[in-house]
Structure 1
Amino acid sequence: MNYVTQLTFFRFLAAVLVVVFHYGHTTYPFNTSLIRQLLSHGQVAVSFFFFLSGVVLTINYLNAPNLSFKSFFLKRIARIYPIYILAFASTLLLTIFINGSRPSVISIILQAFSVHAWVPKFALQINYPSWSIAVEVFFYLLFPVLVQYLNKKAFDKQILLIVVFWIISTTISFLLNTYYYQPNTTNFGKFLMYFPLLHLNTFLVGILAGIVLLKFKEKAEKLRWFSRLSYLLGMVIIFLLFTNKTSLALYMNNGLLSPLFFMIIVGIAFDVSPLTKTLSNKFLVFLGNSSYSIYILQYPVYILMQTVLQEKVFQGKAFYLYLTTLLLISGLLYTFFEKKARFLLLSRWQLTKK
């Protein structure tokens, strides 16, 4: 059973959710009462990305013999950096020549090396969605060390360590947001939202989900009813949280929802049903694979379409034209640039593709 293939389409859904959250919330049907309420928590989709990264990396590498830090990191760089640099350079040029922006040299350097999320002041400058890529790069640096450490522990110890870390880190985030909260227009507010360490718990729970999937993959058939209950319950809880005004909204960005992500993804992965086959459809997998381009290119394509359409805010047909253009560009770049650039880099570094 290929869990990675099954889960790929969820990346596409999360990427489109972020795009709609940023640019489409005033367009029908996203401006209707219920959907607008759901979309108001659209930033949680980025946390879902972090969780999925933990799941997928664990499935691919947990049992890899002699995992090399250098090999692993270079493979990840080959995966994310070509389109990252293209999006960064495009946004930089578009903001300078179309928007008249003048980003600082420090901001340019930090974002070029994908470390800008570590400095709250610069986290959202230039191509602002790319802050999450800086967080991902941090996870990539940690992952080989985490895997080597966890592989030395028994399954129950792995669970205990990750759960304890999640409890401690979530408590810290809870206290910071309760007593020191500031909107993300301030540097401390940006620290609370975007600082990489505050998202590590989400990534670790994703790793735990990957461990569980590998541990019980032979028992998927026996677990199918439990798995269905798991993901349905997880979805219902998230729906209720998103559609009801709750004080918990303030704490959803720093790992609080990770257990619910766990219930949903592990449940769906273990569900041996037509749903699984549908999620493995080649076209859905293609959409999932192009999700990174969709996410990282959303802002430069938005600036470009503002010029083409002569509109500052997209509503109705303008938004759907923008979204269609973004999806087409992302699909083409994934097929003809991203994959080829990755292959060339891996060949140059004499690494096999994984």
Structure 2
Amino acid sequence: MTPRADQADPAGPHPVVEPLPALTSLRFVAAAYVLAFHFAGYEAGRAAMPDAVFLGYSGVTFFFLLSGFILAYNYQRVDLSPRAARLRFLRARVARVYPVYLLALAIGLPWFVVWTAKVVPPLQTLMASGAVLAPLGLHAWVPGAACSLDCPSWSVSAELFFYALFPLLLPLALRRPGPTALVTLAAWAASVALAILAWNRFAPGLSLIAPTTDAATLLAQAIKYNPLLRLPEFVAGLLLFVLWRRVRLPLGVLLTWAGAAALALVAGVETIPEPLMHNGLTAVVWAPVILAGAQVRSGPLTAGWFAFLGRISFALYLLHVPAYAFVSSLDRTVLAGRLAGTAWLTVALATLLSLAAASAVHLAIEEPARRRLLRPRAPAREAAPLPSA
């Protein structure tokens, strides 16, 4: 029997809701898209990368949108104003992200040490600060540190900021969606406009995605990773849920919308300013995809194997860069560079290792740790009365 949204789970931070399995599966699609972007960049570079693959960084925009959508879906009937409710929410989010997050940071430490040693101050000092800031979830705020220790982890730093604001943002989105949408759109437009002006002024002709100087690298990270600049994408996810709750557009309309928007963005890769494309414009593609996925109740996206891939997607996202670094290091130290001339084999090995590691971590660490952290605490026992004299 499918649980209803109004059935309370006394042990959980929110009422039990009806599963949305297609959205779980789509998480894997987005994670795989980010993986393809990174691996193609490592092996082929931008010049040999198809434009559609180059936009793989936009998978993070999907995750921010989906995070807002799902959290609004789960907590729409929860009053988060009491301190106890907020603490339950934050405990649930920490249990969800921190076990794999800390593991990924630990796995990435050897390459962090090597890469940090190769650069010079001030970038070296900023990169080294990631060793302290990343475990605290603060590194996305500091250019240089944001991408120093397992680069994909910057988005978790941003998500932790979103979680802190969620109890304030959810009531605004649910009760005043119109004004909230206008303020969010204005804030996004202003931040992107300033980012474009700064990039054109201080790094003209360079790529935001792969800057070639230390100064441009720091500016690029300030634009790409700063949680405040990415907040509109999360709020857009909250508002997307409000739209979905009120209006159910036909699947054909949503898929046509997503396809047309995707074609337009791919065609405009060379002309659309990179800060605009990187920091949220691709939501015009991902928003209808999420709306469509929320309606799907049958078909391949709801298959058990696809849902499992969706459940390991968080681990896949965080572990694929260390997996690639491991394969590359193995090739240099053990295989004498034999993989260097066969990019497809390097990518295939790194992909298989990423999937295997993500599956193992999900089953052996992520889920057991989450259940343990969310286990209800046993009530304190009252002290036995002292025997009378």
TM above 0.5, one fold?
Answer: yes
Give RMSD over aligned pairs: 2.9
Which structure carries more helix by proportion? 1
Structure 2 Cα separation of the partners of residues 178 and 99 of structure 1: 30
Equivalent in the alignment of 1:86? 103
What is the Cα deviation at residue 149 of structure 1? Answer: 3.5
Say which is worse superposed, 57-66 or 75-84, in terms of deviation. Answer: 57-66
Secondary structure of residue in 1 paired with 2:375: helix
Say which is worse superposed, 47-56 or 58-67, in terms of deviation. Answer: 58-67
The ranges of structure 1 where at least 4 consecutive aligned residues each deviate by more than 6 angstroms after the TM superposition are 30-33, 97-103
Residues 1:118 and 2:141 are matched in the alignment: yes
The amino acid across from 1:170 in the alignment is A
Residues 1:36 and 2:25 are matched in the alignment: no
What is the Cα deviation at residue 330 of structure 1? Answer: 0.3
Show CA shifts across 1:265-315 (max 9, x none): 21343356xxx4321111111101101101111122122222333358671
What is the Cα deviation at residue 143 of structure 1? Answer: 0.8
Q: Where do 1:5-84 residues align within 5 Å?
A: 5-25=21-41, 36-66=50-80, 68-84=85-101
Structure 2 Cα separation of the partners of residues 191 and 95 of structure 1: 20
Residues 1:328 and 2:347 are matched in the alignment: no
Structure 1 Cα separation of the partners of residues 313 and 285 of structure 2: 22
**Residue 236 (structure 1) aligned to one of 260, 270, 273:** 260
Equivalent in the alignment of 2:164? 141
Equivalent in the alignment of 2:381? none
Say which is worse superposed, 302-311 or 6-15, in terms of deviation. Answer: 302-311
- 2:46/2:54 contact within 8 Å kept: no
| 1:175–1:107 CA distance, 2 compared to 1 (3 A) | closer
Equivalent in the alignment of 1:255? 280
Q: Where do 1:204-283 residues align within 5 Å?
A: 204-216=235-247, 220=248, 223-224=249-250, 227-250=251-274, 251-270=276-295, 276-283=298-305
Structure 1 Cα separation of the partners of residues 104 and 238 of structure 2: 28
Residues 1:171 and 2:185 are matched in the alignment: no
What is the Cα deviation at residue 175 of structure 1? Answer: 3.5
Residues 1:296 and 2:318 are matched in the alignment: yes
Q: Where do 1:333-348 residues align within 5 Å?
A: 333-347=361-375
Show CA shifts across 1:18-55 (max 9, x none): 11111135779x9997x711111221111111111111
Number of residue pairs matched?
A: 334
Structure 2 Cα separation of the partners of residues 268 and 78 of structure 1: 26
- 1:18/1:42 contact within 8 Å kept: yes
Structure 2 Cα separation of the partners of residues 168 and 195 of structure 1: 14
- 1:231/1:268 contact within 8 Å kept: no
What is the Cα deviation at residue 17 of structure 1? Answer: 1.2
Say which is worse superposed, 112-121 or 242-251, in terms of deviation. Answer: 242-251
Gaps of 5+ in 2: 3-17, 379-389
Secondary structure of residue in 2 paired with 1:43: helix
Structure 1 Cα separation of the partners of residues 38 and 349 of structure 2: 15
- 1:43/1:253 contact within 8 Å kept: yes
- 1:229/1:267 contact within 8 Å kept: no
- 1:37/1:242 contact within 8 Å kept: yes
Equivalent in the alignment of 2:13? none
What is the Cα deviation at residue 336 of structure 1? Answer: 1.4
Structure 2 Cα separation of the partners of residues 112 and 101 of structure 1: 22
The amino acid across from 1:323 in the alignment is T
- 1:170/1:255 contact within 8 Å kept: no
Say which is worse superposed, 169-178 or 116-125, in terms of deviation. Answer: 169-178
- 1:4/1:56 contact within 8 Å kept: no
Structure 2 Cα separation of the partners of residues 150 and 245 of structure 1: 32
Structure 2 Cα separation of the partners of residues 232 and 140 of structure 1: 32
Q: Give TM-score scaled by structure 2 length.
A: 0.77
Secondary structure of residue in 2 paired with 1:121: coil
- 1:47/1:255 contact within 8 Å kept: yes
Decide which structure has the larger Cα Rg and report it. Answer: 2
Gaps of 5+ in 1: none
| 1:150–1:46 CA distance, 2 compared to 1 (3 A) | closer
Q: Give TM-score scaled by structure 1 length.
A: 0.84
Structure 1 vs Structure 2: percent identity of aligned residues?
25
